[in-house]
């Protein structure tokens, strides 16, 4: 049966390196006959979590912005891939802000089981993504029916679009297997 694959692209740079990895993952997933969609945070209204924990009682966030729309998509997907630039050896703040806003679906009957990370960095060493992997694993530890199934470490890319083709191909292949 066709899977529902969601790719959340969190970089503020449209057509940037991690966004290109996101597109390749979507194409790979579609090539395998799955339904795949990319959601970008560019232009999205996304406030910080206020920590009120009202969502623990209501399952809903008190903030009315784009997070609830994106969370609905995340909770309903079989596969979720997050694409992020490395900022100060971590995931970007936009991605962390989104993950913090997932508290309303914590404890819900979310569907996703397989999680992927598609990261890009200026640093040429693949350890540049370790912080982002560790951060995402913290989120996965709380959504414990899911697990991290793959990571693309798109190193050595500073200017938008300069990511090497080998990483684009890797993202396509991971998407195809997802």
Ligand X SMILES: Cc1cc2nc3c(=O)[nH]c(=O)nc-3n(C[C@H](O)[C@H](O)[C@H](O)COP(=O)(O)O)c2cc1C
Residue 13 within binding range of ligand X, rule CB under 6 A: yes
Residue 18 within binding range of ligand X, rule CB under 6 A: yes
Residue 121 within binding range of ligand X, rule CB under 6 A: yes
Q: What single-letter DSSP state applies at residue 113?
A: -
User: Least distance in Å: CB of 31 to ligand X?
Assistant: 23
User: Least distance in Å: CB of 28 to ligand X?
Assistant: 18
Question: Applying CB under 6 A, which part among 15-23, 35-43, 70-78, 134-142 lies near ligand X?
Answer: 15-23
Q: What angle is formed at CA 117 by the lines to CA 164 and CA 101, rounded to 5 degrees?
A: 135
Choice from 87, 126, 149, 173 touching ligand X (CB under 6 A): 87
Give 34 or 120: the residue with its C-beta nearer to ligand X: 120
Binding pattern for the stretch 57-86 against ligand X, x by CB under 6 A and - elsewhere: ----------------------------xx
Give, rounded to a whole angstrom, the gap between the first and last alpha carbons of the chain. Answer: 13
Coil, strand, or helix at residue 96? helix
* 99: CB partners within 8 A, 6+ apart: 91, 135, 136, 139
User: Least distance in Å: CB of 17 to ligand X?
Assistant: 4
Residue 10 within binding range of ligand X, rule CB under 6 A: no
User: Least distance in Å: CB of 19 to ligand X?
Assistant: 5
Binding pattern for the stretch 126-165 against ligand X, x by CB under 6 A and - elsewhere: --x----------------------------xx-x-----
Question: Quick one: which of 26, 128, 125, 43 has its CA closest to 79?
Answer: 26
Distance CA 157, CA 16 (A): 10
Dmax (CA) of the chain: 47
Return left, alpha or beta for 71; rule: phi > 0 is left, psi -120 to 50 is alpha, else beta.
alpha
- Applying CB under 6 A, the residues found at the interface with ligand X are 11, 13, 16-19, 85-89, 120-123, 128, 157-158, 160
């Amino acid at each position: 049966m066709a899977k529902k694959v969601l790719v959340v692209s969190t970089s503020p740079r449209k057509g940037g390196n991690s966004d290109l990895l996101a597109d390749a993952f979507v194409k790979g997933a579609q090539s395998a006959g799955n339904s795949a969609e990319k959601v970008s945070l560019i232009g999205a209204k996304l406030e910080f979590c206020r920590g009120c924990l009202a969502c623990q009682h209501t399952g809903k966030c008190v903030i009315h912005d784009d997070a609830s729309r994106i969370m609905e998509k995340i909770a309903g997907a079989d596969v979720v891939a997050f694409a992020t630039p490395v900022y100060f050896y971590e995931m970007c703040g936009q991605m962390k802000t989104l993950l913090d806003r997932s508290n309303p679906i914590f404890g819900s009957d979310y569907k996703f089981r397989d999680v992927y990370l598609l990261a890009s960095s200026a640093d040429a060493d693949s350890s540049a993504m370790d912080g982002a992997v560790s951060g995402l694993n913290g989120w996965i530890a709380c959504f414990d029916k899911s697990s991290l199934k793959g990571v693309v470490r798109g190193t050595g890319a500073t200017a938008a679009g300069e990511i090497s083709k080998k990483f684009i191909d890797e993202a396509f292949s991971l998407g195809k297997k997802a």
